[in-house]
Amino acid sequence: MNPIYRKLNERFPERGAPTKQSFQTEARALSQWIAQLPLGNAMAAARPLLAAVNEINTLKIDGYQRLTALEMLRGPIQQMITQADRQVVGSSFPLPSAKYQLGLQSRDFHAALALGYTMAAYEICGPEGKVPFLKGKPVAMALGRAISHWSEQLLRGYLLYASPQSGVWKSMHDLIRFAQLVQLGDKEYDDPLLGKATVSPELCYKQALLFAISNPYRLSQRDMLDAFDACRVWAQQAVLRPGGGGEFALPLEEDRGPGYLPEERQAGAGALLSFGTEGAVAYLERELSMAASAGTPVSFKLRNGNPITLGQDLIRRAMYCWKPVFDRMHQRLAAGHELDTLIGLTALHYHLANKTDFESFVRDIRGPGISMSERDRSTTWTNSTASLDSSKPVATRARVLDQGLGGYRLEWSSVSGAKARIGELIGLSILGENDEDEDRDWMVGSIRWIRFDADGRVEAGIELLAREAVPAAVRPADQNGVFKTPMRAIELAPMRRDDAAVTIVAPSIGDKAYSRIEFSKPAVLFSEHHGKTRVQTDVEVLENTGAYLRLAPKDAPSHTA
């Protein structure tokens, strides 16, 4: 028996012969069972569907019969997953328990299907691992379906910002190795869930690789779904090469992918297989150049498949991550020390303002004539004496895994209670002799990606925005030119000495809301920061993360180092 073929059954469960009480996998009986499912009620239909696939995976049945049964169940299961996605995608984190369980259920569906299709391919090619005469297409389909569902299983984990489960990447590596061994890697077959498009085992595998090196942990859930589908099209232009001649080495004997971050990636020496994105990059650059002048989204589709449309910014963000281990703007240095962190504009502003609530802060710099909104009154800490201490923002300690000139990779322990999301503002402070000192210096960064481990630890990539910051208040003008109530803002000093322009971060309430603003900040002792209020009418929006806006007032005074 071929050792690569033998690897396919390393994770198979114990199987027994079907009995009268077993789930019926014969096509007619299964069709009747599916017809009786309340597919319009996902809560009622999902549980028996998952139980059915799991039971089929424990039965000793013919490989073709298994393949047929899974094909019949695949469509109804996809309906359950689509309904679950509607509830999970777009939710705030941490997810409520009910939504989190829906996400886990979708992941379990794909894992069960991937295992079942692997078993079907193994059984059809048994006992020696040889493809029967004229049966290449069903074997290729079983192998490709298994890879595709493992890839979808990873996606459902990404949607929860969870690390990959044990065994998933190794299973995908084993499947593609066997597909190539029996010369079925590029064998095409239809996928009804993709319209009339045809795919192959290698295309499904390359899609998973391309999406992984796009670092899904830095994307919103909606962007993940769109980019995942687009990667299926882009993967047609990527290549798999024997050995380590490509940009990304694939550790086929290990249970991991090509690396979500550059520091997780390996050089190609000694690799059994490698992955190259040169063709995909050239293809996307051509598409982007044609769409650049219009600034419109770009559409992609497989031949005879359904189109997927992405914004140009999302495409470029994905491509930005396609860097092998040796290609990074800033060298990363191993660390291990700890930093105090503050997550969110509200918490950071409070500490930058020497632990002053926002209402008092505005009164100090503008006087009592400025009225506060109820929203800001509700987040001050002067309204409830009983909960004065418990309601104040408290710094959370994080460990620095590595660092560079551009930022940090942090890890919060499972007991820290850290609640973070992509695009959120974060304050960073070095631990000192007196961590309660009100005059602590806080650097400002943005959370660019996030990942939750199974044990509850939170890992995040932080881009450093400023090493110096000043608390401020901003009042955007309405359509009539009347300034609204003040909102928290932070002025960021430039990162480079040759950059004289300051920027401002403020709540994300729409790009056009800040076209005309009144900006106020306090004087800072022993520094060049002078307290003043100014009206600015030429404001450029540099970034909108959904959690904050980063603004560049073009008529702002220069920063003095």
Final residue of a domain: which of 123, 153, 187? 187
Spatial distance between the Cα atoms of 107 and 57, rounded to a whole number of angstroms: 16
Asked if 142 and 189 count as a contact pair (C-beta separation under 8 A), the reply is no
Is residue 440 in some structural domain?
A: yes
Count of positions (residues) in the chain: 561
Is residue 255 in some structural domain?
A: yes
Is residue 290 in some structural domain?
A: yes
Final residue of a domain: which of 288, 309, 327? 327
- pLDDT string in tens for the chain (561-residue length): 789 999 999 999 999 999 999 999 999 999 999 999 999 898 899 999 999 999 999 999 999 999 999 999 999 999 999 999 999 998 777 788 899 999 999 999 999 999 999 999 999 999 999 999 999 999 999 999 999 999 999 999 999 999 999 999 999 999 999 999 999 999 999 999 998 899 999 999 999 999 999 999 999 899 999 999 999 999 999 999 988 766 888 989 999 999 998 878 876 555 689 899 999 999 999 999 998 888 889 999 999 899 999 999 999 999 988 977 655 555 667 778 999 999 999 999 999 999 999 999 998 888 776 655 554 544 443 333 334 444 688 899 999 998 888 899 999 998 777 777 888 999 999 986 555 666 789 999 999 999 988 788 899 999 999 999 999 999 988 888 888 889 999 999 998 776 668 899 999 876 566 778 899 998 764 445 555 788 888 888 888 888 899 998 876 554 443
Is residue 371 in some structural domain?
A: yes
Pair 353, 321 in one domain: no
Burial degree of 5 (CB within 10 A; 0-12, 13-18, 19+): buried
Pair 37, 170 in one domain: yes
Count other C-beta atoms under 10 Å from residue 372's C-beta: 16
Q: What are phi and psi of 143, to 5 degrees?
A: -65, -45
Show Cβ contacts of residue 374 under 8 Å, excluding neighbours closer than 6 positions.
none
Pair 290, 167 in one domain: no
Closest among 549, 543, 311, 343 to 429, alpha carbons compared: 343
Spatial distance between the Cα atoms of 251 and 271, rounded to a whole number of angstroms: 7
Query: Under DSSP, is residue 423 helix (H, G, I), strand (E, B) or coil?
Result: coil
Q: Which two tokens stand for residue 142?
A: 């079983």
pLDDT tens-digit readout, 217-247: 999 899 999 999 999 999 999 999 988 766 8
Specify which residues 198 forms β-bridges with: 190
Rounded (10°) CA dihedral 537, 541, 545, 546: 40
Is residue 240 in some structural domain?
A: yes
Asked if 525 and 555 count as a contact pair (C-beta separation under 8 A), the reply is no
Is residue 193 in some structural domain?
A: no
Q: Which range marks the domain in which residue 271 is found?
A: 213-327
Query: Under DSSP, is residue 559 helix (H, G, I), strand (E, B) or coil?
Result: coil
Pair 347, 485 in one domain: yes
Pair 374, 256 in one domain: no
Pair 323, 340 in one domain: no
Pair 501, 361 in one domain: yes
Is residue 196 in some structural domain?
A: no
Pair 461, 348 in one domain: yes
Is residue 204 in some structural domain?
A: no
Pair 452, 530 in one domain: yes
Query: Can you give the pTM of this predicted structure?
Result: 0.84
Sign of the torsion angle spanned by Cα atoms 129, 133, 136, 141: negative
Pair 492, 518 in one domain: yes
Pair 5, 72 in one domain: yes
Spatial distance between the Cα atoms of 352 and 493, rounded to a whole number of angstroms: 14
Pair 448, 527 in one domain: yes
Final residue of a domain: which of 142, 171, 187? 187
Total domain count for the chain? 3
Specify which residues 463 forms β-bridges with: 407, 446
